[in-house]
Structure 1
């Protein structure tokens, strides 16, 4: 009892110390001048110069984003299982003389179980991160990941496999909530887009490994055709645990906790070359934290629905949800989609491997897109392009079917996946990480991701129903459905998505506080001395 009392006193003293330290910022001219210089320097810094000066920030951002490879790996693994012939024979129902299929309800359960677990995980991630930080929360998630893989690997029924997937989903929630937030906080302004976009690259890396593993084991006529790919999940958590143990904590989180000396050490570890540069970055962070602190005390979920933060939360949720409505689910179920489009099973696995490699190439290309073009531009053009291709896909599936139309549908599936991986997918993570306020970032990214899962779970069921031979068996005609939903996403973004490229977190706070219209964000000028 006395230990808990002592801990509460220490927290109270630490919080009081933080308030005293931060209250000095806006009244201290020397600190304010440092903050001005730090922000001006980041605005003047080019992408390449920033990468050369802050290689360690890029490295730690990439490592944190790489944790999402485990969600990608497992999600694509499940969608490939339903296309494995032996898996369908063991757990499915016979649909013809020599054909078997996993019933739609079990397909949906396999695809949705991990997302349901992740939905719980993202809500746990926010409060835990606010309490113990990004680094320790991620380490906790990696420990849980190692443990829950055992359940899936040793499962001997669809029921137990679904339970295993649901439990694995909980640490996924930790990773996807924390990775974009942490990365956006540790890298300088010019690198935010490129570094947060590596989340989509990690997603592609997971899918490439899955595509290669399932293609290699597709021909095996025994249980190892799916157990070996499940076991490959263990290659990620332990090495990542060792590396992340040595990662610096976000200086923004440390300042919010009143740990100024540790924040300064983190800034130096992330790439500040001189004491002066480190002090300027520290002052810039303290200034922004103090401005946001004046808007409220300790962050809670309810704060996301108050004042201008409500608008920021809605934008975050809409951008995350839109990932499920612009054809991405075709990419997530690529192998099965190719089979339903009339491609032979072995060629479908080959085509899936090609698709995932092309997605990786598109992810690399997104670094250039996000550096040259603005966030709204990339999102709107990427989504608009896929709207066109999705409707063309529907048309190809509606005409009399031949070998040529089958391959046309398969090629359009590849193109849609490529466009998503190069534009809407990576830029979404950048938009999400920049839109939320620093004070509420851990909670905001968690709630935004929960919107993704809330929309994804019914969409997975709908997608399975559209593609499955025991369901509606629409094949490429699903392009009409996804084309319409993608069009809604485009109009929503056109009217509500603000432009935050080249904006510091202080400037973003001011723009939202002034209730500037989304299309006016780009042309509104904010002085470096403004503190509202």
Structure 2
């Protein structure tokens, strides 16, 4: 106890000394750091922040696990060995997992992710990103045993819920960490990289499922579950070695540790640049402190933060409302429509490869076009593709199987090129710095709630022993995608090339979403008098006696 108190006291003394060292220069240094970020080219940003890029890439790999699992359960419903173990035999269609159990198993990890994400909002705010991630990975290692040895659908459901607790943490922490360790010109790339990890996990899962398709007995579906054990321990080691987010350390008033974290993340930054960056973080936090003091979920719905919460929640919900439950993993759709399982899984594997390529290409588009045009154009295009799938099903029936498959691949490419990766960038950049862990959790929770409704509807729409709508489902999801298209045109702002200070001012001044990109802001304009006084003092101090 005495040692802890002494260490805490020493930390406070070090922070006070650092604040005194910043002193009158803090405003000048903060403005200099902001100007440097705007002037920095992409290659300069990569060179000066190469360690930050590396740590962000490694931490985001936790999303591979969530992406891997989302493909497993949805495709297992078309998996012969899984159908025999957890389904029933119907005289008309053979072995099938009923609509009730499809809904429950799909929802299991989603429910767990909601609970895990909400808890994570408080835990990450208090204990930091690194230790929250380490504990979550350790817990997941144990929960995988439940799904691997599940003897019934009920036990498998419990395992999915328990695993979902950890996946909810990964899905909210990874984009938040990526947005906080890198400068403005790299944020878009590293937050959208989160979606590439998602696509990578799904590509790996599709390959594993295709490879295990011919294995007889329960190991045919247990091996894909067992592969999840490859990830947690190496990722725990990475998280232990990674530097903590300097923004979280500043929010926690650990300025000396924040400075050390910035130094660890920097590649070729001088002592002056590190001090400038720290001063900018302190200045941004102070700007938000009065309206977000205490950092509770309720604060996300107060003042201009209500608009920011709306944007991050609806933008993330757009991933589901764009029809992802239907078109993202279409294997079950094609097998129920009459396509042989082998061909359906081959198509799924190829589609996931297309998704990977689309996400990589999105990095180039986002750097030139920004977030708003890509999101609006993407969601509008997805709506058209889904309606075309519905029209084909009505007009051609089973003859439309392969044309519909081609449209699903096209849908997946457009999704991976636009709203798939962009949603992660939007939720990470739009939220205020002090409320970011809580805001990202709320956006993910909104996503998961819509996902639950989507999975319930999708299980019944596609199941041949339930509603059996098949391709006509495209009409429904095409309509929901169009609603998001209308919302995004009027409500989604452009955040490209904006520092967090500038975004704070734009939201405080209630600038229209369509005017965000054209509006000029100066975070230091209101401090002009004080800044002038500081520079005068510096000039006098530099004069010879």
Q: Residues 8 and 117 from structure 1, CA distance in 2 versus in 1: closer, same or farther, beyond 3 angstroms?
A: farther
Q: Residues 508 and 106 from structure 1, CA distance in 2 versus in 1: closer, same or farther, beyond 3 angstroms?
A: same
Cα distance per residue 1:470-499 (max 9 Å; x no partner): 121111111100100000001111111111
Paired position in structure 2 for 1:327: 323
Alignment of 1:111-510 (within 5 A): 111-271=106-266, 272-403=268-399, 405-510=400-505
Alignment of 1:91 with 2:89, yes or no, is no
SS at match of 1:295: helix
Superposition RMSD in Å: 2.2
Counterpart CA distance in 2 for 1:108 and 1:251 is: 41
Paired position in structure 1 for 2:539: none
Q: Residues 331 and 97 from structure 1, CA distance in 2 versus in 1: closer, same or farther, beyond 3 angstroms?
A: closer
Deviation at 1:177, TM superposition (A): 1.1
Deviates more, 1:51-60 or 1:364-373: 51-60
Deviation at 1:378, TM superposition (A): 0.7
Higher radius of gyration, 1 or 2: 2
Cα distance per residue 1:440-477 (max 9 Å; x no partner): 00011011100001110011111111111112111111
- 2:71·2:202 contact (CA, 8 Å) conserved in 1? yes
Poorly superposed stretches of 4+, deviation over 4 Å: 5-25
Paired position in structure 2 for 1:66: 61
- 1:301·1:443 contact (CA, 8 Å) conserved in 2? yes
Deviation at 1:97, TM superposition (A): 6.0
Deviation at 1:21, TM superposition (A): 7.2
Deviation at 1:125, TM superposition (A): 0.6
Counterpart CA distance in 2 for 1:462 and 1:217 is: 29
- 1:121·1:170 contact (CA, 8 Å) conserved in 2? yes
Counterpart CA distance in 1 for 2:87 and 2:497 is: 53
- 1:341·1:409 contact (CA, 8 Å) conserved in 2? no
TM-score calculated relative to the size of structure 1: 0.95
SS at match of 2:90: strand
TM-score calculated relative to the size of structure 2: 0.92
Paired position in structure 2 for 1:41: 36
Deviation at 1:115, TM superposition (A): 0.4
Counterpart CA distance in 1 for 2:5 and 2:301 is: 28
Q: Residues 183 and 413 from structure 1, CA distance in 2 versus in 1: closer, same or farther, beyond 3 angstroms?
A: same
- 2:249·2:258 contact (CA, 8 Å) conserved in 1? yes
Counterpart CA distance in 1 for 2:91 and 2:47 is: 60
Deviation at 1:401, TM superposition (A): 2.5
Gaps of 5+ in 2: 528-545
- 2:59·2:238 contact (CA, 8 Å) conserved in 1? no
- 1:79·1:332 contact (CA, 8 Å) conserved in 2? no
Cα distance per residue 1:202-259 (max 9 Å; x no partner): 1111111111111111112200010010000011111111111110101111111121
Counterpart CA distance in 1 for 2:15 and 2:432 is: 19
Deviation at 1:298, TM superposition (A): 2.1
Counterpart CA distance in 1 for 2:261 and 2:73 is: 39
Counterpart CA distance in 1 for 2:395 and 2:9 is: 69
Counterpart CA distance in 1 for 2:350 and 2:509 is: 47
2:74 to 74, 79, 98: 79
Deviation at 1:7, TM superposition (A): 7.4
Deviation at 1:520, TM superposition (A): 1.3
Cα distance per residue 1:318-355 (max 9 Å; x no partner): 11111111021124432112223432111001111101
Paired position in structure 1 for 2:508: 513
Q: Residues 6 and 307 from structure 1, CA distance in 2 versus in 1: closer, same or farther, beyond 3 angstroms?
A: farther
